[in-house]
Amino acid sequence: MTKKSILCIFVTIQLLLLNGVSAQNLSDSLGGIKTHFQLYSDTINLQPGEQFMLLRAEKKYTADPTFGYGWGYGYRSYHLEFTTNKNIVVETFKYHVGYNNDPKLVLSFYDVSGLLLSSLTFPFDRVSVCHNFSSTGSPFFYSIDLIEIPISLLDHTAKIGIIKLEARK
C-alpha cells in the first residue's frame, strides 16, 4: 500500500466518525438533560414518550393602550418538557368573587418509596401545551416552567403528580 492510499483510507474513516458524532436531536444539541420521572395525573400514568429538562428564556409583559404605558421583564429558568398521548386531569374548584380564580397547576413530588416530598401550586400560565385537537391520537407536548422549584427537590423525586385546577361557577 502506498502512502497516498493509506492517507485516503484514514481521511475516509475520520469523515465517517465525525459525521456520526453530530447526529444529535435538537433537545440534546440545546443542552437538554434527559430525565426519568414517573409522570401521573390523578391515577393516570401519562407514560411520557420522552422527557428532559432544558434551560429556556421566559418573558412577561403587559400594556395599556388607553393610558399609553406598559412593562415587561425576562428571565431564564429550567423547564420540564415531555410528550404524552394522554391529557392531564382537570379538577374544578368553586369560583369566589374577589379571589384568584385563574387556572392553576398542582405538582406533587414523590420519592422512590412513594412518600410525598412536596406539593406546589402555581399559575397555569407557566405551562405551554401544544396539541392537534383535530387529529385523534395526536400527542400532547408539555413544557412546565420550574422557576420556583428547587433542583434539590427534583434530585430526590422519582414520581411527579400533575393536576390542572379550573374555577367553576
Q: Average pLDDT, stretch 45-66?
A: 86
Domain extents in the chain: 27-167
For the chain, the helix, strand and coil percentages under 3-state DSSP, each to the nearest 5: 20, 45, 35
Q: Measure the CA–CA gap between 24 and 27, rounded to whole angstroms.
A: 8
Q: What is the predicted pLDDT for the residue at 7?
A: 62
Tens digit of pLDDT for each residue in 117-161?
999 999 998 999 988 878 777 899 999 999 989 999 999 999 999
CB atoms near residue 141 (< 10 Å): 16
Q: What is the predicted pLDDT for the residue at 109?
A: 96
Tens digit of pLDDT for each residue in 73-107?
888 889 999 999 988 889 888 877 777 888 999 99
Q: What is the predicted pLDDT for the residue at 68?
A: 79
Q: Which residues are CB-contacts of 140 (< 8 A; sequence separation ≥ 6)?
A: 83, 84, 85, 86, 87, 129, 130, 131
Q: What is the predicted pLDDT for the residue at 14?
A: 67
Cell 414520581 -> residue: 159
pLDDT band at 1 (very low <50, low <70, confident <90, very high): low
Residue 9 pLDDT > 70: no
Q: Which residues are CB-contacts of 68 (< 8 A; sequence separation ≥ 6)?
A: none
Q: What is the predicted pLDDT for the residue at 154?
A: 93
Q: Measure the CA–CA gap between 72 and 59, rounded to whole angstroms.
A: 7
Q: What is the predicted pLDDT for the residue at 16?
A: 61
Q: What is the pTM of this model?
A: 0.76
**Upper half-sphere CA count for residue 25 (Cβ side, 13 Å):** 7
Residue closest to 124 by CA, chosen among 86, 162, 158: 162
Percent with pLDDT over 90 in the chain: 36
pLDDT band at 17 (very low <50, low <70, confident <90, very high): low
